[in-house]
């Protein structure tokens, strides 16, 4: 069974496009700078989190499977 996810956002790259809270609203919201912020990497389905990562126009989101250590995205 797949492990839990570790999700991080590179704030040097994040432009606040705000697709991620729209696609995985339990995992992502916006911080005070209106940049992406991870609330809980495992709150949404894995599919939704991956969709949000793929949808990020600047690939600011990194997703890692904690069990295998494999980087799932980018």
Partner 1 sequence: MVTAINDDMFSGAAIEDPYAYYGQIRSEDPVHWNEKYNLWVLTRYEDVVWCTRHNELFSSAVFKNDHRDPYPQIDESDMGLYDDVRKFFASWFIQHDRPVHMDMRRVLHGYFTPKAMEQWRPMVKSVIKDLLDEADEQGEMDIMRDFATPLPLFVIAQMMGMPYEDRKFIRVLAEKLLFIGRGDIGRMKPLHDGIYELIDYLSPVVEERIKHPEDDFISVLADGERRGIYTREQVVSNAILLLLAGHETTINLICNGSLAFMQHPDQWRLLKEDQGDVVPPLINRATEECLRFDPPVKSIQRIAVEDVELGGKLIRKNDRVRWFISGANRDPEQFENPNTFDINRWPNAHVGFGSGIHHCLGATLARLEGQEAFKALAERYDTLNLKTKQFDYQPSITFRSLKALPVSLN
* Near partner 1 by CB under 8 A: residue from 2, 8, 47, 59: 59
Q: Which residue lies nearer to partner 1 by CB, 47 or 67?
A: 47
- Tell whether residue 72 is a contact of partner 1 (CB under 8 A): no
Q: How far is the CB of 73 from partner 1 (least distance, A)?
A: 9
Q: Distances in Å between the alpha carbon of 37 and those of 1, 7, 20, 67, 68? A: 27, 10, 9, 23, 24
Q: How far is the CB of 1 from partner 1 (least distance, A)?
A: 26
* Near partner 1 by CB under 8 A: residue from 5, 20, 49, 56: 56
Label residues 6-32 b or e (16+ Cβ within 10 Å = b): bbebeeeebeeeebbbebbeebbeeee
Q: By the criterion CB under 8 A, which residues form the site for partner 1?
A: 12-13, 15-19, 22, 33-35, 54-59, 74
């Amino acid at each position: 069974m797949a492990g839990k996810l570790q999700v991080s956002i590179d704030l040097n790259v994040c432009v606040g496009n705000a697709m991620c809270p729209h696609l995985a609203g339990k995992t992502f919201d916006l911080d005070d700078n209106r940049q992406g912020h991870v609330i809980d990497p495992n709150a949404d389905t894995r599919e939704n989190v991956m969709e949000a990562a793929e949808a990020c126009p600047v690939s600011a989101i990194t997703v890692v499977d904690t069990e295998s250590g494999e980087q799932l995205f980018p």
